[in-house]
Amino acid sequence: MNLYEQAFLTLYFLVLLVLCFYGSHRYKMAILYRRHKTKAPQKTLSLEDSFSTFPKVLVQLPIYNERFVVERLIEQVAKLRYPKSALLIQVLDDSTDDSHEIAQACVTHYAEQGIPIEYRHRTDRKGFKAGALEAGMKAQQDYDLIAIFDADFLPQLDFLEQLVPHFTDPTVGMVQARWSHINREDSLLTQAQAILLDGHFMIEHTARNRAGYFFNFNGTAGIWRKSCIEEAGGWHHDTITEDLDLSYRAQLKGWRFIYRNDILAPAELPIEMNAFKNQQHRWAKGSIQVALKTLPLMFRSSQPWSVKYESFCHLTGNIAYLMMILLSLMHPFALRLRIDHGWRETVLLDFPFFLGATVSVLIFFGLSQLEVDAQKGLKRLKYLPAVLGIGIGLTINNAKATLEALMGQQSPFVRTPKWAAGDQTQGKALLSNVYQGSRGLMPYFELALGLYYTLTISYCFQEGLWFALPFMLLFQWGFLYTAWLSFFQAYFLQKKHIKDSP
């Protein structure tokens, strides 16, 4: 083995080592979940029995160009069960299109019916969502609790009744509900997204919260104590995941968070690949931004080392996408080593990756499906290969986001387009191009890698490298599927709706 091969193998091994590190963390989450899943938050009394005077709740609805879902959101939130004398719904609208007129008319309609609701419109959009939330909170100083719902959510009517009683404990700063999915059955893409989110919300959140680690508010479907927000320094907009940032700052101040995985908040999944990628880009970039901002504070804090370690894994997890880029480029070249040096030595290189990354994904997300829905969970396991493939297909998109964060490149808060999934206005949304996710150059790179793996698969057949073939096919499918949907999915969605329309 010459010097170049040794250098290649050293780098290849280091890449696999990092991927196995983050992959093994999924095992830890699964084990912690199994160990602590029965330790549910202490049951609370009913809302009426919990308080002599109901805490005043401000429900904030941050809106930006949501013409297809804003009416649905306001209509649902207006039905929330809570004493009207202690409630105010605040529509925080930064829209620059006709969503502004739709939302204002809707607010006027419900205000005339006696619903405590107000409309606030900003024209500068300073601080994006974080700025809107901060401005709304400062405009209403006498509210104790703040509930937040994004435009694609349809909270259950007893949401406040279920979560507000937890704030009888003065140490509780935030209570988060679990997301569920209005349109998970729409397509293979939405099925895969639902599984990805189920892993986060059912396994990770439950495990972290009940094991005593930090977990985060997810930007929506939760309730904050206003004094907790203020003590933590308020909403900051120097990252594009203001929810994650505030969560860590608040918990470092000693506030306790509660996660209710039994309370569901139905929401819409992006139905189009470019919108999904934009969402993932924001989450990946924001988590690294928060890591750079918060981890120095965490490591200087008096938190136990187990909490510091878990926070490091949580906030830096998207570093794995940079490693996946290297692996995607190096993997085919590693096949040559199989031929030159035999199977036994080279399989030893791939086995840790298979065990630490691939198997951990299957176990982690498989467990999430069995726990979310015991009856349908087994049937949904068939989508796990698609989850693996789409995760691979996101590599370039999320690696770019991670690099931007590490290099300090700032970017605006890019909203995730909504299509009113499951609603009668969905067809109108599909036919409109105004909210389509931006495509950019990423699909061209994904297509190039897909073709690169097509050539690699041909090489596997020529050399009889059958053991490597499933991996190569998975990488090929992931990149080509992501590229294909990025280029053509919006067109086919529109065409299908026109065909199905009467």
Helices (H), 113-176: 128-139, 159-163
Decide: residue 36, CB within 10 A, 0-12 exposed, 13-18 middle, 19+ buried.
middle
Q: How far apart are the C-alpha atoms of 458 and 464, rounded to whole Å? A: 10
Q: How far apart are the C-alpha atoms of 498 and 492, rounded to whole Å? A: 10
Q: How far apart are the C-alpha atoms of 74 and 154, rounded to whole Å? A: 9
Selected catalytic residue, list 93, 94, 186, 423: 94
% helix / strand / coil in the chain, to the nearest 5?
60, 10, 30
Spatial CA neighbour of 196 closest among 255, 74, 284: 284
Selected catalytic residue, list 93, 243, 350, 423: 243
- Token digits of residue 257: 């968070």
Given phi > 0 = left and psi -120 to 50 = alpha, else beta, which region is 91? Answer: beta
Q: How far apart are the C-alpha atoms of 391 and 324, rounded to whole Å? A: 10
Spatial CA neighbour of 450 closest among 425, 484, 422, 421: 484
Q: How far apart are the C-alpha atoms of 143 and 54, rounded to whole Å? A: 11
Instruction: Give catalytic status of residue 243 as yes or no.
Output: yes
Instruction: Give catalytic status of residue 423 as yes or no.
Output: no
The residues annotated with a catalytic role in the active site are 94, 243
